[in-house]
Every structure is written in C-alpha cells, then in structure tokens.
Homo-oligomer: A and B are copies of this chain.
C-alpha cells in the first residue's frame, strides 16, 4: 500500500485529520517529570497513550531532539517505538542535500529511526529529494508554502507569471510516480491553500500553523482537504502538549486533542 493510501486509511479508521506535533521542549514539560532518566521520552509516552486513538499522525521536529545531545538518539527511538505502527510518524527535518548525502539522511530517518514520512526542502532540486521517495511506503512532504513570515521572501517570487511555490508543486506532481509525495502548506496562508488544493487535488497536505502561529482552522480544513474531506494532516503542537503543566498534563492533552479533532470534524461535516 502506498504512503498516500495508508494515510487515507488511517484517517478513515480514526475518523481524524489531527496530527500531534511532539515538539517536546525539556524546559516546558511538567516539573515532576524532569528528574526521570529520560524525561522527554517519559512525557512523549504519556502524550501518545493519551491521544493515540484521536490522531492520524504524530510529527516530531528533529531540532527539538538534537538539543538533547547524546540522549537524542535514544529518546527518538523510544518515542517512535511507542507510536502504533498504523499511525503515520513524520520526521520533520526539512532535509535536502546532494544525492549521496540525501540518501544517508533518508536512511537515518527511515531505517535508523523508522519514521513513516518526512519533510524535505526543495531548493536543491530533484536529486536532493528523490532519495527520500524510493520506498512507496514512506511519505515525503515537500515544503511548498511555509507558515512563517519569511515564506514571502522567496516562495512568492513570480516565475513566468506564477509564484515559485507553484513551480515546486508542478515538479512534485511529476516526481510522484510512487504515490508517496505530499506538500507542506502553512495554515497561515488560506488563499494559497485553496489555490494549491485546486492544483494538486489528490496530494496529502501537511498543514502546520494553526494555534500559536495564528492560522485559521476553518480554512485549513475547508481548503486543505481533498473532495472527500480527507488528505489534510492538521498539525497542532504546543496547544496540546502544554495544555496543563501539572500532573494532569496527559488528561489535559487528551481533552485538547479531542476538542480539536471534533472541531475539525464539525468543519468537515459542513463542507464535505
């Protein structure tokens, strides 16, 4: 089953488009966990246990794990082992390098760590992206329009009458012979999201930027989904992980995730 089919299947099975971003910051987890031997893994396990019936995916931004130094590898592995196999796990690494080096990055993400998908940066072109897409089971979300302000510096520059990101999307559609490519489109750009969904009606979209970054949830769902009301992966991180800083953090995370999942489904039922 291709990555794209697997994603659709888990979204249907869980009736959820929600992705919890496990961007766990040691400074922000409850105090009582901090004297554990591996506080981040302990925190993540509790969050996963509390939310795994509510999500289609977890996304781990590698920057947060790298800061753990020699603990990083083990914390990542322990966290990934705890994610049920059918749920998508996205290594948010935004990698990109020349071919043989990209192959190494891909091997680390998919073999050493067993992520089922990752994010990549398109600036270096096809041979920097392809090595991540060789296995049809593994998904590759290419940055199209990112959620930050700097997105406007280059992604919107017009090339032959179209913004650069549309050229990226055209290439991604061409590269997608294994049905395992997707796009990253920030929720902070609802107009672009609508336009990009029209350009790429079937691709999975990873949509960050709701919550702390101010993206609008209704637009993210309405314009991010395909015609079946699926294939949008809507990421929330801080609003779920840090819903409470007390001993009840996992229950509070569950409540926040459940509310968001249901809010998304209410919007879906309106438009699809």
- Residue numbers of A with Cβ under 8 A of B are 23, 61, 63-64, 66-67, 69-70, 72-74, 94-99, 101-102, 104-105, 107-108, 112, 121-129, 143, 146-155, 157-160, 164, 167-168, 171, 213
- Given A61-B97, A94-B121, A123-B123: A167 and B148 interface contact (C-beta under 8 Å): no
Which residues on the B side are within 8 Å of A61 (C-beta)?
A: 97, 101
Most chain B CB within 10 A, of A69, A97, A157, is at: A97
Measured CA separation A261–B38 after assembly (Å): 47
Q: Contact check: which of B105, B126, B168 meets A66 at CB < 8 Å?
A: B105
Measured CA separation A147–B200 after assembly (Å): 30
Known: A61-B101, A124-B150, A154-B167. 5 other contacts (CB 8 A): A67-B107, A94-B96, A122-B153, A127-B150, A158-B160
Measured CA separation A246–B197 after assembly (Å): 56
Minimum CB distance partner of A111 in chain B: B67
Measured CA separation A164–B102 after assembly (Å): 22
Most chain B CB within 10 A, of A122, A125, A126, A155, is at: A125
Which residues on the B side are within 8 Å of A143 (C-beta)?
A: 123-124
Cβ contact within 8 Å between A125 and B148: yes
Each complex incorporates copies of this chain amounting to: 2
Which residues on the B side are within 8 Å of A146 (C-beta)?
A: 98, 123-125, 128
Cβ contact within 8 Å between B99 and A127: no
Cβ contact within 8 Å between A125 and B108: no
- Given A96-B94, A123-B143: A67 and B104 interface contact (C-beta under 8 Å): yes
Cβ contact within 8 Å between B147 and A125: no
Cβ contact within 8 Å between A154 and B63: no
Q: Contact check: which of B97, B112, B151 meets A94 at CB < 8 Å?
A: B97
Interface CB pairs A-B, < 8 A, 26: A63-B108, A64-B101, A64-B104, A66-B104, A66-B105, A66-B112, A67-B108, A69-B73, A72-B73, A98-B148, A121-B121, A121-B124, A122-B153, A122-B154, A123-B123, A124-B146, A124-B150, A125-B150, A125-B152, A125-B155, A127-B150, A128-B150, A129-B150, A154-B168, A157-B159, A157-B167
